[in-house]
């Protein structure tokens, strides 16, 4: 867990200047705000409870609570008490507040670079995992794909997804060579925003395909599936969505 004066996600000495400059509360505010701006979270949609938000965004509960409270004060979220209470996206989120909660264009270049690094390393890990994964590894990974398929919130899905990719790295049995990959993974997870669960369930099809390839010791398919899975991030992660949104704005203003 991170403290309020730590970088988002507890990323330590990561390469992302933007994350290092942003405190944990501001990072959570930004990630939730972008999800709303990009339509990933809809007006009136209920967020998971505070503990789940904290786990899903890899921050401490107090950081999650302070970020959610701040967004409510800004008119982005609303807090409701009672049996059907909780934290919800405002029916009309403050447009002014949301305009302040966007990753600068220059920072998206750094994120694309991280995705490329993940692509290179994850394909290599998939290759070695296909060679070295034990029956226990495959069984564990299969169980995680089932957890993701049954997840009803982005938070529950993301927690299982994190464990899945770490478990693939463990199955590859490349020792300390996996350390750099795990750093990159953590840095990218520092930019994870809530996604609709249906979209995440589609992404889980890649995980299922990878497990089948590992079980069959099919290195070529394992690498192909991993390549497809990570390369898609350039289009579906918020950086791709932001760039498409900005391009649309430029076209409309031309």
User: How does DSSP assign 158-201, residue by residue?
Assistant: HHHHHHHHHHHHHHHT-GGGHHHHHHHHHHHHTT-----HHHHH
Cα–Cα distance for residue pair 29/60, rounded to 1 Å: 14
Q: Is 29 exposed, middle or buried (0-12, 13-18, 19+ CB in 10 A)?
A: buried
Percent of all residues in the chain with a pLDDT value above 70, rounded to a whole number: 85
Q: Is 225 exposed, middle or buried (0-12, 13-18, 19+ CB in 10 A)?
A: buried
pLDDT tens across 167-177, in order?
999 999 999 99
pLDDT tens across 193-220, in order?
899 999 999 999 999 999 999 999 999 9
Cα–Cα distance for residue pair 158/49, rounded to 1 Å: 15
Q: Is pLDDT of 140 > 50?
A: yes
The pTM for the full model equals 0.84
- Measured between alpha carbons, how far is residue 129 from residues 88, 166, 167 in Å? 41, 12, 10
Q: Is pLDDT of 8 > 50?
A: no
Across all residues in the chain, what is the average pLDDT? 87
Q: Do 112 and 212 touch, CB atoms closer than 8 A? A: no
Q: Is pLDDT of 252 > 70?
A: no
Q: Which residues pair with 7 in a beta bridge?
A: 23
pLDDT tens across 227-240, in order?
999 998 888 777 66
Q: Which residues pair with 46 in a beta bridge?
A: 88
| Predicted pLDDT of residue 247 | 55
Please give the average per-residue pLDDT across 85-114, as a whole number. Answer: 90
Between 164 and 85, the more confident residue is: 164
pLDDT tens across 20-61, in order?
457 899 999 999 999 999 999 999 999 999 999 999 999 999
Half-sphere exposure of 64 (CA within 13 A, CB side): 19
């Amino acid at each position: 867990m991170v403290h309020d004066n730590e970088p988002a996600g507890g990323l330590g000495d990561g390469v992302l200047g933007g994350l290092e400059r942003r405190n944990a509360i501001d990072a959570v505010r930004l990630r939730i705000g972008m999800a709303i701006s990009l339509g990933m979270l809809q007006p009136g949609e209920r967020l998971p409870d505070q503990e789940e938000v904290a786990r899903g965004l890899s921050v401490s509960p107090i950081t999650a609570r302070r970020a959610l409270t701040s967004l409510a004060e800004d008119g982005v979220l609303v807090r409701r008490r009672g049996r059907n209470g909780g934290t919800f996206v405002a029916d009309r989120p403050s447009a002014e507040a949301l305009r302040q909660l966007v990753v600068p264009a220059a920072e998206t270049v750094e994120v694309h670079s991280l995705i490329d690094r993940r692509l290179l390393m994850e394909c290599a890990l998939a290759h070695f995992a296909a060679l070295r994964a034990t029956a226990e590894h495959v069984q564990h990974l299969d169980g995680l794909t089932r957890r993701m398929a049954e997840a009803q919130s982005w938070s529950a899905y993301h927690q299982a997804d994190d464990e899945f990719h770490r478990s693939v790295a463990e199955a590859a049995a490349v020792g300390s060579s996996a350390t750099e990959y795990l750093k990159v993974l953590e840095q990218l997870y520092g930019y994870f925003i809530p996604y609709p669960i249906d979209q995440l369930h589609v992404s889980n099809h890649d995980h299922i395909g990878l497990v089948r390839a590992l079980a069959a010791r099919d290195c070529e398919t394992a690498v192909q599936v991993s390549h497809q899975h990570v390369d898609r991030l350039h289009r579906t992660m918020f950086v791709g969505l932001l760039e498409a949104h900005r391009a649309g704005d430029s076209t409309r203003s031309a």
